Structure 1
Amino acid sequence: MIKLLLVDDHPLILEGSKQIFSDAPNIVVETLADVQTFSEVIIHTQYDVFLLDINYSTICLWYVGLAPQFAYYPIQLYDVQ
């Protein structure tokens, strides 16, 4: 079972992203709309994967950097025209 945490301040993005993973039987998705509580959440709950809003990456990665068990693999998705 994979525990996934989605972090974004846009409710529509959170719900849409959560819906993408809803059919995957081995992924449990939780969402977080408030980046200020990110540090508290990751201290009390263990996740396998974080998907972060790119605007939060610096703040969130500072917290993740405090915990060496996390690996960081930046991925940017955008439309090239």
Structure 2
Amino acid sequence: MTERLVIRRIAEVAAGVASQAGVPGADVAGLIVSFLAANPEHVSRFMAEGGELFIDGTIRAEHGALSFGAMNGKMVTPAESRALKGMPDQ
């Protein structure tokens, strides 16, 4: 598995998920990168299953490494989101 294949797969999955969800593909790609940065053990699974990781709840903003815009417009870190949801810290 090369870096180019991983980047290409991120773009493919992001475009598909974004199209179905009606959101920008760059936002979805950022979420994927954030998740994989925090959970590199899932790279092989992501390469094989792609968007399925969204469906089963594996890829979620609170499981990532980067801050994100919450529904209320505020910037939130994954740790803050987990705390607000009563989830254990990673």
Greater share of residues in helix: 2
Provide TM-score, normalisation by structure 1: 0.29
Greater share of residues in strand: 1
Identify the structure with bigger relative contact order (alpha carbons < 8 Å, sequence gap 6+): 1
